[in-house]
Amino acid sequence: MIEIRGLNKRFGNFVALKDIHARFSNDECIALIGPNGSGKTTLIKSLLGMVIPEEGQIFFEGNQILGSWEYRKRIGYMPQAGRYPENMSIDQLFTMMRDIRKNDGEDKELYDLFDIESIKSKALGTLSGGMKQKVNASLAFLFDPNALILDEPTAGLDPVSSEILKAKISKECRKSKLIIITSHVLSDLEEFVSRVVFIQDGVIRFSKNLTEIKTDTGEHTLSKAIAKIMSA
């Protein structure tokens, strides 16, 4: 569904991405992991058209994304920290997004499970970090997108809400969708991730399935396996 060919991106003298080649298919749940400053966020923003690379091409469902915006309607994006006008209410935010997306159907499962309806009149600037995450998650899944990009999705969530969100991610994985997740809490990913893409210093160091990584490192958990790789 997403193909990346020879992606390069600099910010001044800093090389954020270097010759990235990757293919992410339907029916995959990808863990995009790496140290802070490794290039994960730049890669995600490139996929969403929020960062324009100096070189390379990105294809979504077979079509090059450069100069195109329509494809983003088929991607659900959950940022690590959503930034909205502080005086806007939650209800106004959802109304605005419905007007922008103009999708026929909706998936309100998270909206209902997080009981967003009961707080919809609250201003976004008054919300706690955890409540903002619930709003971000509900928006990401709302339009039943073909692909989901989730940046640190469980950050700031209480244990119950975190389990609700993980159950929803697992459910969507079974629908043959493409899901790309970044997270430093690797235990959150292990139950549904099919492949791990490890990026460091703007370069993809490896792309392997979970079984391969555990076999190669001799470890039984993803967090220990990645820790061994990073310390090697």
pLDDT tens sequence across 10-42: 999 999 999 999 999 998 999 999 888 899 999
How confident is the model over 59-91, as pLDDT tens digits?
999 999 988 888 998 999 999 877 888 999 999
- Cβ contact 176:27 at 8 Å: yes
203-209: strand order across its sheet: 75-78, 147-151, 178-182, 28-33, 195-200, 203-209
Sheet holding 14-24, edge to edge: 14-24, 2-11, 55-60, 63-64
pLDDT at position 122: 96
- Strand 28-33 to 195-200 pairing: parallel
pLDDT surpassing 80 at residue 103: no
Rounded-to-integer distance, Cα 137 and Cα 155, Å:
11
Fold of 2-231: Rossmann fold (3.40.50)
Residue 190: predicted pLDDT: 85
Whether residue 189 is predicted with pLDDT greater than 90 in this model: the reply is no
pLDDT at 117 over 90: yes
Structure tokens at 211: 């079984």
> What is the average pLDDT value for the chain, to the nearest integer?
92
Buried b (16+ CB within 10 A) or exposed e, 166-198: bebbeebbeeebbbbbbbeebebbeebbebbbb
Residue at token pair 């893409």 = 197
Asked if residue 229 has pLDDT above 90, the reply is no
Check residue 39 and report its DSSP letter. Answer: S
Instruction: Please give the DSSP secondary-structure letter assigned to residue 75.
Output: E
Read off the DSSP letter of residue 64.
Answer: E
Distance, CA of 62 to CA of 68 (rounded, Å): 13
